Structure 1
Amino acid sequence: MNLFDALVIKSGMDFRNFLSEYRRAAALLYEKTGDLSFRNVALTEKSYARWRSGQVTRPHHPAPAILRELFGRPLDELFAPYTDEQAQALRTATAPVFDESELAMTARDARAHASDAAAQLLPDLTLDQLEDDLVGLVQDTSTKPPHLVFVSATEVLGVSKALLDRTQVLSQRRRLYLVAGQASALLSACAFDLGAIPHAFELARAAALYGQVAEYGPLQAYAHSYLAVLYYWTGKPAQAVGKIEEARSFPDVGATGKARLAAIAARAYAHRGRAEDAQLAIGESLVDRGPAEDDLHGIGGEFDFDLERVAMSNSSTLLLLQDGPGAETSARRSLELIAARSTSSSPLVVAPQARADLASALLMRNDLDGAAEALSPVLGLPREWRGAGLTARVNTIQAALASPAFRDARLAQDLAERIEAFTLVATPQVLGPGAVRLALGGSNG
């Protein structure tokens, strides 16, 4: 036994802890001397055991200097034979004795740790820019197709994760977790539009976890409610109801977010066959929301849930409830609100879905001409805007056209053929088997 072994026993360090302290002492020596031999030092557990057993009496450079820095004792003293009685006395001493070298080592460790923490501080301007990039991207979702949003959101998520490794400041980490969560939520919506449902689930769950880490209720509410959307789209209405009810329990959600939650809840209840609950939720979604918004839903774009989107979502719910007149009224209301905007940013996202719902409602009262007129602008959309939600709506219309009421109508046959051509090059179809056949619904509730 030697003094080195006794000091290790006294400290209670295992190999991993010793290696950490050994490297920290080496880093301090490099800082003092600039000697490159102190950079990236290595020590195997086998060598460490040989040092302790006394098989080595003088380790090779740079170990002697590092050990002196670490213990404040010369190498000859550390590796000199040490009696069992001396070791026992060291282990069982009732009052620890601190000499100046031990205090100096503690002080150096504290300074090194504080320096490491201070070095992991990001400029606020870096975070400001990343948050601005995320906001701009979210606001562009009404005019930028999903596949392009997906690419940009992936970059934002990657940057936020990289920056998290560069700061230990809690306030900065929370900001980065929020950016990562919002980017994940946006990616989930894009994955849904692109027909990649399993990935949409994964990304929504990631957004929920980021929201949990950041302790931010609106993001958790958004992510959990999006999971509800994905559940009812994949034919799991019971899980959709459970998830939306969980989403409504998170705090600090503003009026816009609450309207979104109510509209999604209405659809989930309708898929579950709970007509009364669905009607009550529709009523909640239409309550005057006032000026209050939380920071997430106030961004706009994908996170917004304006009145035209509420009306569009409710038209889908009313179709599920077989309320054709109600669905028609709600779909027309959505389109009227869009048309009333002086500079609308919603048509490519909301209007086509509202038009498809209107066409379905008109078919319920056998108005084939009206349905064809309502659907015509939708069928001319560029391929990149033919997302999963819209494609499923259009396919529902095609199924309705096969009913006995329209079977012999030439217009119905022409419309069905146009729908088939529309679907053939729609985004989910182009992606291939990742897309699934979905129940009637909308990409944002």
Structure 2
Amino acid sequence: MAGNARQGDPRTLLECLLREQPKTYDEVVQDFGNLAAELGENVTLSSRHLRRLASGQRAGTTPVMRRVLQNMFGKPLDELLAPWNGPLPATDGPKGLVLPTSRPTADKELIAMAAQRAKSFALAAGQTDLTPDVLDQVHADVQRLATEYPQQPLTELLPDLLTTQDTLFTLLEQQRRPAQARQLYFLAGVTGGLLAKASHDLSDPHAALTQARTAFVCADNADHNGLRAWIRGLQSLVSYWAGRTRESVRYAQSGAEFAANNTSSVWLPVSEARAWAALGNANATRSAIERAEAAWASVQEDEVDELGGLCAFGRARQLYYAAEALSWLPSQSATATDYAQQAVGAYEDASSPEWAFGDQAGSRSALAITRIQMGELEGAAEAVSPVLDLVPEQRINGIITCTQRVHRALRDSPLAEAGSELQEQIEMFTRTSLKSLPR
């Protein structure tokens, strides 16, 4: 715990709060820095400075430091630095406010709080019979999350994902008309699918598959085959990255019976192809890739596809999946290189609605692997270099695993000795992943 190591009562309220934290002073200071960055405040705090404040020595603070400390602990700084004289007070006040003046630390926080309050009121006001406006609001929330998920760091979206799921579950706990219940179950299924992907990105396949199973229950209650197929695609994805390749094949094949004509009819066979390739079955891999290509002829968008983002499977993702699948098979390196080059080109335009930083990184990693197989060390380094520049917040599980595959391909190739520098760069990159960041 942070705080004074010796026995005795805390000297300030701040020291009392710090003692309740299961963290060292250095860890608290790191949290301070992370919060300051999130709030857009340019300020740092040292462990020594924090100790002096907590001990009551009244070290100087700047206005910006006061704002971040007040946001962090939910109390005015004068109150935090006052002598402690009783039990620990509650600290569940609203974050993001400068409490002594009631002024917001940033306009965007005040606007966000007001919007959340308005939405909560609208949901409560329509509890007996939800109005179209309420359903439209929840649908818009889910669509925004689905659209932004492939393009934004998970840390920016996770709080809203959790809030949206809780809102939908709360609404479903009330008696609803059948049509409204179906729409709510549909949206709850999509949100559960997004949280399954979030759990996967944080390297927790157990939580991911738990979310996916609940999402499938919601899809059953909504009686929506397109949603069932999409969730099976997510289950196949999670299983593939967790190394459960035969399970990944089964999920992809199971989803095919529901896929009908939405874009999951392409996603499921090309997902199956990746898993077959990881198992070393070249014939099954090529067959699945061909089925995915043929499926485009009958694709018709449904409610899932219309949400966009992670809910729609486009041609760029198909190219990436095919490239990654074939990169497992050295005998297919020429074809894999062609697919990978097309995929990298498809993800060059970051303004495209189909752009996704994770799939872009996967495409470049697949290209690096195929170039290693063809003896092109410089080309491999060029392909993977932009991936190694990604910030830790974007180093999701799939990206880390992709770069580790590049590392293994290099290790097992005749280029191993010459590629030692690239291997070291990959090792440095994978040490700091999204899952390793403090929460």
| TM-score bracket for this pair, using the shorter chain length | 0.5 to 0.7
Q: Is the 8 A contact 2:358 2:398 kept in 1?
A: no
Equivalent of 1:318, from 319, 326, 330?
326
Give the partner amino acid of 2:397. A
Q: Is the 8 A contact 1:143 1:345 kept in 2?
A: no
For residue 303 of structure 1, what is the aligned residue in structure 2? 311
1:128-139 matches, cutoff 5 A: 128-139=136-147
1:259-274 matches, cutoff 5 A: 259-274=266-281
Q: Deviations over 1:119-141 (max 9, x none)?
A: 83122211111011101111111
Q: Which has the larger Rg?
A: 1
Q: Is the 8 A contact 1:178 1:214 kept in 2?
A: yes
Distance in 1 between residues matched to 2:277 and 2:163, nearest whole Å: 37
Q: Deviations over 1:389-429 (max 9, x none)?
A: 111110111122323622332xx122111111110111134
For residue 225 of structure 1, what is the aligned residue in structure 2? 233
For residue 63 of structure 2, what is the aligned residue in structure 1? none
Distance in 2 between residues matched to 1:227 and 1:378, nearest whole Å: 25
Q: Name the SS for the 2:386 alignment partner.
A: helix
Q: Name the SS for the 2:258 alignment partner.
A: coil
Give the partner amino acid of 1:302. L
Determine if the alignment matches structure 1 residue 246 to structure 2 residue 286. no
Q: Deviations over 1:212-239 (max 9, x none)?
A: 1111111111112221222233333222
RMSD across aligned positions (CA): 2.2
Residue correspondences, number: 312
Equivalent of 2:290, from 276, 283, 299?
283
Q: Flag the 1:294–1:250 CA change in 2: closer, same or farther, 3 A.
A: same
Query: TM-score, structure 1 length as denominator?
Result: 0.66
For residue 338 of structure 1, what is the aligned residue in structure 2? 347
Q: Deviations over 1:361-395 (max 9, x none)?
A: 10001100000111111100111111111111101
For residue 205 of structure 1, what is the aligned residue in structure 2? 213
Give the unaligned 5+ runs of structure 2.
1-125
Distance in 2 between residues matched to 1:414 and 1:166, nearest whole Å: 59
Quote the offset at 1:430 in angstroms.
4.2
Give the unaligned 5+ runs of structure 1.
1-117, 433-445
Q: Flag the 1:129–1:370 CA change in 2: closer, same or farther, 3 A.
A: same
Q: Is the 8 A contact 2:253 2:269 kept in 1?
A: no
Q: Is the 8 A contact 2:277 2:325 kept in 1?
A: yes
Equivalent of 1:181, from 189, 196, 204?
189
Distance in 2 between residues matched to 1:253 and 1:274, nearest whole Å: 27
Distance in 2 between residues matched to 1:139 and 1:201, nearest whole Å: 22
Give the partner amino acid of 2:344. L
Q: Is the 8 A contact 2:261 2:299 kept in 1?
A: no
Quote the offset at 1:343 in angstroms.
4.1
Q: Flag the 1:332–1:249 CA change in 2: closer, same or farther, 3 A.
A: same
Distance in 2 between residues matched to 1:374 and 1:416, nearest whole Å: 14
The percent of aligned pairs where both chains have the same amino acid is 25
Q: Is the 8 A contact 1:338 1:344 kept in 2?
A: no
Give the partner amino acid of 1:354. S
Give the partner amino acid of 2:284. D
Query: TM-score, structure 2 length as denominator?
Result: 0.67
Give the partner amino acid of 1:250. F
Distance in 1 between residues matched to 2:412 and 2:281, nearest whole Å: 27
Give the partner amino acid of 2:128. Q
1:5-404 matches, cutoff 5 A: 120-250=128-258, 252-254=260-262, 256-287=263-294, 288-289=296-297, 292-322=300-330, 323-339=332-348, 343=352, 346-403=355-412
Q: Flag the 1:349–1:232 CA change in 2: closer, same or farther, 3 A.
A: closer
Q: Flag the 1:303–1:289 CA change in 2: closer, same or farther, 3 A.
A: farther
Q: Is the 8 A contact 1:205 1:224 kept in 2?
A: no
Q: Deviations over 1:145-187 (max 9, x none)?
A: 1233222111111101111123321111111111111000001
For residue 5 of structure 1, what is the aligned residue in structure 2? none
Give the partner amino acid of 1:413. S
Q: Is the 8 A contact 1:147 1:194 kept in 2?
A: no
Give the partner amino acid of 1:263. V
Q: Deviations over 1:229-264 (max 9, x none)?
A: 22233333222222221111115441x221111211
Q: Is the 8 A contact 1:137 1:153 kept in 2?
A: yes
Q: Name the SS for the 1:419 alignment partner.
A: helix
Distance in 1 between residues matched to 2:211 and 2:223, nearest whole Å: 18
Give the partner amino acid of 1:367. E
Distance in 2 between residues matched to 1:172 and 1:344, nearest whole Å: 30
Distance in 1 between residues matched to 2:236 and 2:192, nearest whole Å: 16
Distance in 2 between residues matched to 1:357 and 1:407, nearest whole Å: 17
Q: Deviations over 1:92-118 (max 9, x none)?
A: xxxxxxxxxxxxxxxxxxxxxxxxxx9
Q: Flag the 1:426–1:212 CA change in 2: closer, same or farther, 3 A.
A: same
Distance in 2 between residues matched to 1:222 and 1:291, nearest whole Å: 14
1:417-428 matches, cutoff 5 A: 417-428=424-435
Equivalent of 1:414, from 418, 421, 424?
421
Distance in 2 between residues matched to 1:372 and 1:153, nearest whole Å: 36
Q: Flag the 1:301–1:251 CA change in 2: closer, same or farther, 3 A.
A: closer
Q: Flag the 1:404–1:335 CA change in 2: closer, same or farther, 3 A.
A: closer
Q: Deviations over 1:296-355 (max 9, x none)?
A: 023211112111111001111101233211111111111222336764651523211101
